[in-house]
Amino acid sequence: MFFSLLFAMNLLWAKTDVAFLAGFNGSDPRTANEIYRGVDVFFAIFPDAQKLISVEKFDTRSQISETVAILQKIKEKGIKVVVGIHNSDEAIAVSKFVNANDMIFITPFSSNPKVTQQGNNTFRFCYTDDFQGKVLARVATQNLRKMKYLVLTNVNSNYANDLSRIFKSGLEVLRGKPGFEVKTFEYQPDHLETATIVNLVKEFKPEVVFLPDYITRAASIAKAVHETDKSIIFMGGDGFGGKTIFLDILGKMKDLRVYYTTHWTEAMKNKTNQQFVSKYKKLFKNDTPTSGASLTYDSMVGLYRALMALPESSFSASNLGTQLKKMTFDTTVGSLRFSDPDDNSPRKPVVLISFSNGAYKVEEVIQP
């Protein structure tokens, strides 16, 4: 008890400021607010953590330049730990900045491989698009067994570019088989003309449209394409979000068929997940928990554990990073470890979701 108290006192004296960045007033404020709920759940489950961690919210407006400007302010304030960001391009910018300024960045939700490639000070608590893209390609080729694919890529998004690239790479197993065709159309969201895509769909007549964009932007394209050809199956990555947001945006089209991957599902029965779901529902009046909140929760718990594990008065970005890489974390989707010495990306399972005939269903949890 004495040691615990002494430990707690030490922590009190060495409270760590954490900047939480998200586009609260950006292109997808709903997701931003959702992932921040993970922080609330974390402090609800670990109330003592407030003595060790102080979290300040920053609104990036989903703009890279704004994100970098905020990072400058954070740096000037002396904050060394950055958490958040649900957009891969912003996450890459943050990663680049923190690695150049001796800071630590923990992203719960950014799956683009480039995020962690900027340096050792960046950690993610989700899988990468490499894994996600391969899973989706495998589902398309082996489960759905479709031959004609139209890949619509938001060229301004690294997330979309890389996920498209990995997905198309996975489709190469069909190369040479009769009827196999892949067509790519790159669009700029600022100059999006759905009519062009609709015409392309009419002309190409794809069986599957791969749409690796965030759900708010993907929804408008999916709606237009679906109205053109209702037989088309849509596939996407974790940008389609959790169940709640998906059903709110795309779930209204009852005859829509969608297969997409996500990071988390409420259905997982492990203790940590049960504790998270229970606390989340308690905090947010029986709202359905989301993968974003769960990943943020996992991230905050990981940060908390690492800070607690750090020797007395030895906090630094590099020490924290080293500590994170040493530890194994118990997350909502199971244990997590940064085992790759060159990339701080964990090996985590992919949850495959299907939406068909108005039914939202966890088809499979695919282990890496």
Partner 1 sequence: MTTQSIESLIAKETKRLWRVALLLVSILYLGFLVLIWSEGKNAAESQIHAWLSVNKKALQEFLYVENSNAIRGILGSRLQQQTGNFKIQDVSVYDQSGLKLLGDGNQQIDLQSIQIANNRVDKLGFRIQFVDVLRFADNIQGYVALTAIFDYGFVIRYSVAMSILCGFILGLLVLLKNQFMSEIGTQLIRPIIDLSRTVGLGQLDEIQTRLKDNSRVPVAEINELHGSFRKLLSRISDLSQKKEDEVRLITAGEIARQVAHDIRSPLSALEIVMETSSELPEKKRTLVRSAVVRIREIANNLLTKHVDNITLAHGNQITATSAGGAIELIADEKHVQLQTRNIKLNHNISIQEFGYFINVNPIEFRRVISNLLNNSIEAVQGPFGKIDIRILESEKNVTVEIQDNGQGIPHHILEQLGKKEVSFGKAGLESGTGIGVLHAQRFMDQSMGQLKIQSEVGQGTRLELVFPRCQPPAWFISNIPLKQSEVVIVDDDLTVHDRWKARLAERNIVHHTDPASFLRWLPSVSIEEYWVLMDFEFHGSSVTGIDCLSKIQDRSKCILVTNNWFDQDVQRKVLELKIKLVPKIFVESIPVS
- Structure-token pair, residue 68: 């970098």
Q: Is 71 in the site for partner 1 (CB under 8 A)?
A: yes
Closer residue to partner 1 (CB): 118 or 344: 118
Q: At what angle do helices 64-77 and 88-100 cross, to 10 degrees?
A: 30
Residues 286-315 that bind partner 1 (CB under 8 A): none
Closer residue to partner 1 (CB): 156 or 319: 156
Residues 120-159 that bind partner 1 (CB under 8 A): 153, 155-158
Stretch that binds partner 1, among 66-74, 257-265, 278-286, 351-359 (CB under 8 A): 66-74
Looking only at the bridges linking them, the beta strands covering 350-356 and 359-366 are antiparallel
Closer residue to partner 1 (CB): 155 or 267: 155
Nearest approach in angstroms of CB 92 to partner 1 is 4
Nearest approach in angstroms of CB 361 to partner 1 is 33
Helix (H, G, I), strand (E, B) or coil at 90: helix
Q: How many residues at the interface with partner 1, by CB under 8 A? A: 23
Report which of 29, 99, 142 is spatially closest to residue 344, judged by C-alpha positions.
Answer: 99
Nearest approach in angstroms of CB 224 to partner 1 is 20
Q: How many CA within 13 A on the CB side of residue 257?
A: 10
Site map (CB under 8 A) of partner 1, residues 161-200, x = contact? x------------------------x-x--x---------
Strand partners, 353: 260, 362
Q: Is 6 in the site for partner 1 (CB under 8 A)?
A: no
Closer residue to partner 1 (CB): 98 or 353: 98
Q: Is 65 in the site for partner 1 (CB under 8 A)?
A: yes
Using the Cα atoms of residue 266, residue 267, residue 272 and residue 275 in order, give the sign of their dihedral: positive
Report which of 293, 300, 297, 294 is spatially closest to residue 82, judged by C-alpha positions.
Answer: 300
d(CA 86, CA 35): 8
- Residue from 41, 92, 137, 221 touching partner 1 (CB under 8 A): that is 92
Q: Is 86 in the site for partner 1 (CB under 8 A)?
A: no
Q: What is the DSSP string of 135-170?
A: HHHHIIIIII---EEEEEEETT-HHHHHHHHHHHHH
Closer residue to partner 1 (CB): 107 or 272: 107
Number of H helices, E strands in the chain: 14, 14
Nearest approach in angstroms of CB 155 to partner 1 is 4
Q: Is 96 in the site for partner 1 (CB under 8 A)?
A: yes
CA angle 289/126/96 to nearest 5° reads 125
**Interface residues toward partner 1, by CB under 8 A:** 63-65, 68, 71-72, 89-90, 92-93, 96-97, 100, 114, 153, 155-158, 161, 186, 188, 191
